[in-house]
Structure 1
C-alpha cells in the first residue's frame, strides 16, 4: 500500500532449518533437525495445506488473475527462497463468550451483511479476536488452519515492531540514529542525513515510485529483481541509486524501498536475518502455533524488510494480540519499549499524511490510520470513536491486521482484491466500516 531474493524453483531451495544458538543464528542441514517435514523443499514442523501443484510465475505477480493470486499468495513460501522461523509452545484460542453472528454496514445507500462483505473483499480468510478469544473465523478458497498466507506489506508492521524490540535490547540505540550509523557505505547517497525515525515513518525525502500499475516503477523493478538470481545485490543497487525529492522529514511518501532499507539496518544491528530475530524474540517465546517462512533475498543472511512474512491465520492474530498487549510475553516480560505502541500510532504530521479525511495523520511506525474518514457521508456506522487509536497493518490486495486496544479487538483479513491498491472509497473504506460495525456489535 502506498497512498494512504532470489527466485528459486522449489526443487532448488536449500533444505535448511534455522536454529537459534544463544545470540548466534546459524543454519544446519535439515537432516539433523528433529520432527521437521520436507514440504517441497522447505523444512517445517508440519506441511501447509493446500499445497497446490502448479504455481504462478512470480515475475508476473502484479498481473496475476484472481485464481493465480489465491494460489500464489498461499504458496509464496514455495515460490521464493525463504528462511523458516520456528513455532513455540502454543495455547489454543478459546471461543468468545459472545460470538459474532452478524454485522452490517451501509455505503452509498446500500446495506451489506458480513457475507456480502467477504464477497466484496474477495476475502480468503478472516479472524476476529475479542478479549483474546475467537468471536469469528472464516477460511475460504480452500484455505485451512495450516495455510501460510503471504503478508505483502503487513510485513512492514512486523519489522517496525522488531525495531522496537531491538531498541529495548540496546541493539539500536535510538530512532534518532542516522541510517549511516548502521550502513556507513550509504554516506554520500540520498540516504545520508536520514534518521531511523524518518525511515520508519516514510518521511526520508528519498524519491521512490510505488506505482503498482506502472511496469517501470521502482516497486515493479524490485519485483523483477525478486524473480531472478542475485536479488539482494539487484535491489540494493536500486536503493543506493535513488535520488532525494524533499528534505528529510518534510513530506510523507510511502516507500517499499525505504522499508527494505529499514529491514537491512535491523539485520545489521542484530547480526541476524529477520526470520531469526522474529523467532528468537516473538515467535517462540510468545507461543505461536505454527512455523512461518520469511521471503529471503539471501537465505540465512538477509530477508526482505518490505514484505514476505508468511504465517497462518491464527498466528497473524497472535501477533496482533502481542502488539495490543504492548509487547508483553506470557511470562510477563515486556520486550517493547514503554509506550512503543502509542508512539507507533502517533501519526506523522508531515505533508501528505494529514488530510480532510484523516486530520490526525495517516501513517505512523509502518502502521496506518484507517479509521472511518471523519468527512465520510452517507455511511453507517458514521465516523465515531469505535476505531479510535486503532493500528492497521495493510498490504496490497487486502491483507490486514487491525489492532484496536480500546475495544480489546484484533481483526485479521486475507484478501485478493482485483486491484493492488483500489481507491480508498472502495475496499479500504468498506473495511473501516465493517471493522467499526464489528467493534460496536461486540461491545
Structure 2
C-alpha cells in the first residue's frame, strides 16, 4: 500500500462513524473469527488500523497480548473485595451529548460502552457490563499515561526529580538535541512547544501520515509499520522547537514515552517492574495486568498499552482517594495528589485539540487545566483521563469517588460528561 493510499484509508476510517459489531467479544468469538482477525492485522498496512473503531479491533482491544509482545505487571497478596452498595439513582443521572440529554442508563443502552463502574467511599454503587466480562482485560489506551504521570509526581515529591530541570539531564541519549531546552514539567503538562504532536500539526494528520515526525517515531518503536531503521530516542533527538514551552496544551504520546524513560532511569528498573513493585502487588488487585513492549529496545509503552480488568483500573484510581488505604500499602500520598492537582495552566488548556474536546465534554465547568498526564484537572481538584475509543477514568479525591469505563467507539460519545455529573450528584 502506498503512503498516500494508507493515509486516505485511515482517514476514511476515522470519519466513517463506524462502531464495533456486538458479536465480536470474547464470549462469542469463534476460532474462525479469531483466525480471520489475526490474518487481517498481519496484512501489510493493516496494523495501523488497530487504533481505530473497526470491527476487527473490537476483539483486539480485549486481547492485545495476541498482537504485540508484552510484559507482565504482577499482582501479589490477598485480593481486596469491594463491597456492593448499588444505587439505582446513578443510572438516572443525566448529561447532554451532541445536543441530546439522556440518562446514564439510556446512554449505555445506545452507545458502544463495554463496561461502566462507579465506586464511592470504597463501595461499588453502579456496575454494568455490555460487551465484556468482569474478568476480561481491556486496553486502557491513553488512560495508561497517568501511570507515568503519577510515578513522576512521586519522584518530584521525594526530591529525586526537579520538574524545572531539562529532560536531557535525565536521558543522556538526548543531550545535544532540542531536549536540552525542554523542562520536565513541560513534558508532564504536555506543553513542550515541539514539532511532533498527535493532533495539533497544521494538517492534523500526525497519526496517519508516514511523513510526519510523530508517525516516524511510532514506527521506530514498532507499533506502526514503516521503513524506519532508527531507534526511538534517535528519532526524538531530531525534533525541533516550534513555539516557546508552556504556552499550549498540545497532546502528544511522545511526552509519556519521555516521562517513562525518566522514571526508569532514576529508578533503574523497567517501568512494568516499577508499577508492579510500587502499586500492583500492594493494592489488592484482582488480576495481573500487562503492557505492550516495543519490539525495538523492549520499552514498556505506557502511553497506550496498559491492560487490566475494569475493576482493577478503578482500584488504581482509588489509590488517589481516601479509600485507597483500604486496598493495601500502595496508597498514593496526599502530597503527591496535591502536586498533580496544582500543576497545569488554565490559559494553556484550550489552545489545542484535546483541550477543546474536554471543554466540550465538561460544558458546565470553567478554568480547566491539565497536568501530569491527566487531560483535565477541575477547579475542585477532580481529575480525568481519556483514552482512544472511549476509555476513561475520573477520580475525585475530595468525594472519594472513582468512575471508570471502557468503550469500543470513536471516543466522541462523552462518557466523561456522565462521570462529571455523577460527581455532582454526590454533593
Bin for the TM-score computed over the shorter chain:
0.7 to 0.9
1:251 paired residue number? 248
| Equivalent position to 1:296, from 293, 296, 299 | 293
Query: What is the alpha-carbon distance in structure 1 between the residues aligned to residue 224 and residue 98 of structure 2?
Result: 41
Deviation at 1:314, TM superposition (A): 0.4
Name the one with the larger helix percent. 2
1:11 paired residue number? none
Instruction: Encode CA deviations 1:199-245: one digit per residue, 9 max, x unaligned.
Output: 11112222213137552144444444314599995433332211111
Change (3 A) 1:162 1:299: farther
Deviation at 1:402, TM superposition (A): 0.3
Query: What is the alpha-carbon distance in structure 2 between the residues aligned to residue 84 and residue 248 of structure 1?
Result: 35
- TM-score, structure 1 normalization: 0.74
Residue 294 of structure 2 aligns to a residue in which SS? strand
2:404 paired residue number? 412
Residue 363 of structure 1 aligns to a residue in which SS? strand
Whether the 8 Å contact between 1:267 and 1:302 is mirrored in structure 2 is: no
Change (3 A) 1:344 1:102: same
2:376 paired residue number? 369
Deviation at 1:283, TM superposition (A): 0.2
Matched, 1:81 2:69: yes
Deviation at 1:169, TM superposition (A): 5.5
Instruction: Encode CA deviations 1:152-179: one digit per residue, 9 max, x unaligned.
Output: 1111111111222334556x33222321
Whether the 8 Å contact between 1:83 and 1:300 is mirrored in structure 2 is: no
1:183 paired residue number? 171
Unmatched runs of 5 consecutive residues or more in structure 2: 1-24, 360-364
Instruction: Encode CA deviations 1:395-417: one digit per residue, 9 max, x unaligned.
Output: 11111010012322100111122
Unmatched runs of 5 consecutive residues or more in structure 1: 1-47, 372-386
Query: What is the alpha-carbon distance in structure 1 between the residues aligned to residue 383 and residue 229 of structure 2?
Result: 30
Deviation at 1:310, TM superposition (A): 0.6
Matched, 1:161 2:150: yes
Query: What is the alpha-carbon distance in structure 2 between the residues aligned to residue 404 and residue 86 of structure 1?
Result: 26
Instruction: Encode CA deviations 1:68-104: one digit per residue, 9 max, x unaligned.
Output: 2321211112211110011122211110264544322
Query: What is the alpha-carbon distance in structure 1 between the residues aligned to residue 316 and residue 239 of structure 2?
Result: 33
Query: What is the alpha-carbon distance in structure 2 between the residues aligned to residue 173 and residue 223 of structure 1?
Result: 27
Change (3 A) 1:146 1:331: closer
1:271 paired residue number? 268
Whether the 8 Å contact between 1:261 and 1:305 is mirrored in structure 2 is: no
Deviation at 1:345, TM superposition (A): 2.5
Aligned residues: 370
Query: What is the alpha-carbon distance in structure 1 between the residues aligned to residue 330 and residue 135 of structure 2?
Result: 29
Whether the 8 Å contact between 1:345 and 1:367 is mirrored in structure 2 is: no
Whether the 8 Å contact between 1:98 and 1:442 is mirrored in structure 2 is: no
1:393 paired residue number? 385
1:340 paired residue number? 336
Change (3 A) 1:333 1:119: closer
Deviation at 1:114, TM superposition (A): 2.1
**Cα RMSD (Å) of the superposition?**
3.2
Instruction: Encode CA deviations 1:315-352: one digit per residue, 9 max, x unaligned.
Output: 0010010122497575567554x532122123522754
Deviation at 1:150, TM superposition (A): 0.7
Change (3 A) 1:328 1:270: farther
Matched, 1:433 2:411: no
- TM-score, structure 2 normalization: 0.77
